A and B are shown apart, each in its own frame.
Chain A
Amino acid sequence: MSEFFRTFLSRPAGIVGLVLLVIVCLMAVLAPLIYPGSPWDMAGMPFARPGEAGMLLGSDTLGRDIASGIVHGARVSILIGLASTLTALFIGVTLGCIAGYAGGMVDGAIVRFTEIFQTIPSFVLAILFVAILTPSIGTIILAIGLVSWPPLSRLTRAQVKTVTQREFVQAARCQGQSTLSIVLRHVLPNAVSPIIVAGSLTVAAAILIEAALSFMGLGDPNFMSWGYMVGAGRTVIRQAWWMSVFPGIAILLTVVAINLVGEALNDTLNPRISRA
C-alpha cells in the first residue's frame, strides 16, 4: 500500500490533480461556513464587476454573489458526480460480471442490450428522463447513472473474461479453492483496477453532464449549480463576461483534477502487471 502511494505521488500531474480535487471537496464540505447565507439571496448590487461591492468574483443579474454560488455549486457537482457514478457502477459491474461469468446466451443478450444502450444518444435520454420526471437531485442522479453504465459494463465483462481465463485462475481451480475464494482473491483483485480507473473518469463525465443539464434549465431548482450559473449569465455575456466565465472555470478545473487523478491511478494500478 505504501508503495502504491509512492508511485502515485511520483507523478506531478497526479499531485496537481489531487490538490485541486481536495480544494474542490473542501469547498463543498465547508460551503455553509465560508458563505453562510443562501447563494440565491441578493448580496449586493446587480452587475457588480469582480472585486466591486466586496464581491470577489462580482455579482449576477439579480445581485447574487458569484463566489458564493461557486462554493455552494461544488456541493451539487461532487454529490451528483459521485452518486451517479455509483449508480452506473452498480448497473455496469453487475451486468458485466454476469455476462463475463455466465457466457453463452446470457452473455449474448447482455452484450446486445449494452450495445443498444450505447447507440442511444445518452445526453438526450438524460434530458428526456429529467424533463418528464421533473428535475430534482434524485432524478438527475438516476438519469446520469442510467446513461453512464454501458462502458463500465463492457469493461467489467472484458476484464472478468480475460482474468478468469488466465492460467493462475485455472491453477487455483485445480488447487481446489472454492469459487468464492477464487473470485474474491484472484479474479477481483486482478480485474478491478481498470474498473476503478474508469469509474473515476465516469465521475468527471457525470459532472459535465450535470453541468450541461442545469445549463439547459434542467437542474434542481433548490440547489445552486455551476451549469445553471453559466446558463443564467449567457444572455448578458456582452455586458458581463464574469457571470459565465468563473463558474465555467470551476467546472473545467474540477474535471481536469479528476481526470489527472484518474490517469495517475491508472499508471499506479496498472503497471504492466500481466507480463512484469
Chain B
Amino acid sequence: MSIITSLTGKIIGIVFTILVIATINFILIHATPGDPAMVIAGQSGAADPKFIADIRAAYGLDQPFLIQLGTYIGKVLQFDLGYSYRQRADVSALILDRLGPTLLLTLSAFFVSLIGGVFFGALAGKRQGTWADLAISMVSLLLYATPVFWLGLMLVLVFSIQLGWVPAFGYASIRASSFGPWDYAMDVARHLILPVLTLAAIYMAVYTRLMRSSLIEVSHEDHVRTARAKGLNERQILSRHMLRNAAVPVVTFAGLQASALIGGSVVVETVFSWPGLGRLTYDAVTARDYPVLLGLFLIMSVLVIATNLLTDVLHRLIDPRVKGR
C-alpha cells in the first residue's frame, strides 16, 4: 500500500472521528434536562437574556434537529467552539492558550513511560525468575493499581513536603519572569518532574509487564535460535534480535493507551495545578462551564488522534512489515 493512499485513509478517518465526536457533543447538549441554550451559555444563573437569544439564533435552536446538528458541526469544523460566558473569552482562544503545557506534559510522559517500560520490562524478562524480576513485577503490579491523583499527592508529600527536593505545584516559580531563558527552562523542568513521573508511572507499569512477557515470548522464537547458531553472544542476540522484536507489541499498545494518557493528564494537572487543558477541565467542571468542557473534549480527542499517528510512525520505524502490507 502506498504512503499516499494510507495517508488519505488516515485523514478521512480523522475527519470522520471528529464528526462523530461533534455529534456526541451535540447529543449531550440536547440530552440535558432543560434548555440547550442554557447549556451552551454555561448554565450561569444570571445569564443575560439577550445573550441567550443570540445563542438561539447562532445555533439555530428553533430549527429542526438535523439542521441544528449541521449548524453545530459547521461551527466545529471552522474551529468555532463557542464562547465561555464565565471566562468572557472564546473557547478556542482559551484552549490554544493552555495547549503548550499539556503537550509538554503528555509527550514527556509518553516517552518516559515507553522508554522506562521497555527498559524495565527487558530487564525483568531477561532475568526471569531472579529477585530483580520479582521486584520489578511487584512494583509494576502496585503502580498499575494506584489511582493517579493519589500517586501524585504521595509524591508531593514525600519529595516536596518532606524532602523539599522539587517544587510541588505550578508550572514555574513566581519569580520566573525575571529569569534568563536557560534558567527559565530549568525552572520549568524542575516543576515538570513530579507531574511527568506521576503520569508516566502507571503506563510505565503497563508497558513493563507487556515488554517482560513479550521479551520472554520472543526468546523462544526460532530466529533467536538461528542467531545463536550463527555464533552471536547473548548480548548481541538481545540487542540485535530480541529488543526491537519485543518492543513492537508495546508500541502498538502504547497507541491504544493514548486516550487514557490524555485522560490521566486531566487528573495530574488538577493535582499539580499545571496550567494546561486538564486544569482548565477541572475549572470548567467546578464552574459547570459547558462550552469549555465540550470544546476540551473535542480538542483532546484530536490530541489522541495525533498521538496515534505518532505511534504509527514509531511502529513503521521499527517494523518493516507495516509498510509492505
Which residues does A use to contact B, with CB under 8 Å?
116, 118-125, 127-129, 131-134, 204, 208, 211-212, 215-218, 227, 230-231, 234, 237-238, 241, 244-245, 248, 251-252, 255-256, 259-260
- Contact check, B259 vs A132: say whether CB atoms are below 8 A apart: no
In the bound complex, residues from chain A placing their C-beta under 8 Å from that of B157 are 237, 241, 245
Report whether A127 and B266 are in contact in the complex, using a CB–CB cutoff of 8 Å: yes
B260 in the interface (beta carbon within 8 A): yes
Tell me if B99 counts as interface (CB < 8 A to partner A): no
Contact partner of A131 among B146, B271, B285, CB < 8 A? Answer: B285
Shortest A109–chain B CB gap in Å is 12
Query: Is B282 touching A256 in the complex (CB atoms < 8 A)?
Result: no
Residue of B153, B270, B290, B304 near A248 (CB, 8 A) is B153
Cβ B266 vs Cβ A124 within 8 A: yes
Binds A, one of B15-23, B115-123, B183-191: B15-23
Q: How far is the CB of B10 from chain A (nearest CB, A)?
A: 12
Chain B residues with CB under 8 Å of A119's CB are: 17, 258-259, 301, 304-305, 308
The distance from the CB of B210 to the nearest CB of chain A, in whole angstroms, is 14
Q: How far is the CA of A123 from the CA of B21 in the complex (A)?
A: 14
Given A121-B300, A259-B144: A116 and B17 interface contact (C-beta under 8 Å): yes
Complex CA gap A252/B141 in Å reads: 10
- Taking the closest CB of chain B, its distance from the CB of A245, in whole angstroms, is 7
* B288: Cβ under 8 A from any A Cβ: yes
Q: Please give me the residue from chain B that is nearest to A131 by CB atom.
A: B285
CA A204 – CA B144 in complex, angstroms? 10
A156 CB to closest chain B CB, in angstroms? 17
B147–A217 CB distance below 8 A = no
- Given the interface pairs A204-B145, A230-B150, the reply to whether A132 lies near B28 with Cβ below 8 Å is yes
Query: Does residue B159 face the partner (Cβ distance < 8 Å to A)?
Result: no
Give chain B nearest CB distance to A145 CB in angstroms. Answer: 15
Is B147 in contact with A120, judged by CB distance below 8 angstroms? no
Residues A116 and B16 in contact, CB atoms below 8 Å apart: yes
**Known contacts being A119-B305, A127-B281, is A212 close to B28, with CB within 8 Å?**
no
Cβ contact of A216, chosen from B31, B285, B297, cutoff 8 A? B285
Q: Is the pair B286, A217 in contact by a Cβ cutoff of 8 Å?
A: yes
A259 partner, pick from B141, B154, B256, B297, beta carbons under 8 A:
B141
CB distance from B201 to the nearest CB of A (A): 13
Kindly state whether residue B215 has any CB partner on chain A within 8 Å: no
- Contact A124–B270 (Cβ < 8 Å): no
CA distance A38 to B144 in the complex (A): 32
Let me know if B146 and A128 touch, CB within 8 A.
no
Contact check, B31 vs A132: say whether CB atoms are below 8 A apart. yes
B300 contacts A227, C-beta separation under 8 Å: no
Contacting A230 at CB < 8 Å: which of B29, B142, B153, B293? B153
Per-residue interface assignment for chain B, residues 142 to 172, with 1 indicating a CB less than 8 Å from any chain A CB and 0 otherwise? 1011111110011011000100000000000
Give the distance to chain B from A157, nearest Cβ to Cβ, in Å.
Answer: 15
B296 to chain A, nearest CB (A): 7
Query: Is residue B263 within 8 Å, beta carbon to beta carbon, of the partner chain?
Result: yes
User: Are A215 and B267 within 8 A (Cβ)?
Assistant: yes
Residue A124 contacts which of B147, B149, B156, B262 (CB distance < 8 angstroms)?
Answer: B262
Query: Which residues of chain B come closer than 8 Å to A121, judged between CB atoms?
Result: 259-260, 262-263, 297, 300-301, 303-304
Q: What is the bound-complex CA distance between A255 and B202, given in angstroms?
A: 13
Contact among B142, B150, B154, B259 for A122, CB-based, below 8 A:
B259
Q: How many angstroms between the C-alpha atoms of A79 and B286 in the bound complex?
A: 25
Is the pair A132, B300 in contact by a Cβ cutoff of 8 Å? no
Which of B24, B145, B266 has a CB less than 8 Å from the CB of A252? Answer: B145
Complex CA gap A245/B263 in Å reads 23
- Cβ of B263 to closest chain A Cβ, rounded Å: 3
Find out whether the CB atom of B297 lies under 8 angstroms from the CB atom of A256: no
Query: Are A252 and B262 closer than 8 Å at their CB atoms?
Result: no
List 19 A-B pairs, Cβ < 8 Å: A118-B259, A119-B301, A119-B304, A121-B259, A121-B263, A121-B297, A128-B297, A131-B285, A133-B32, A204-B145, A208-B147, A212-B147, A212-B267, A215-B147, A217-B286, A234-B153, A234-B271, A248-B154, A259-B145
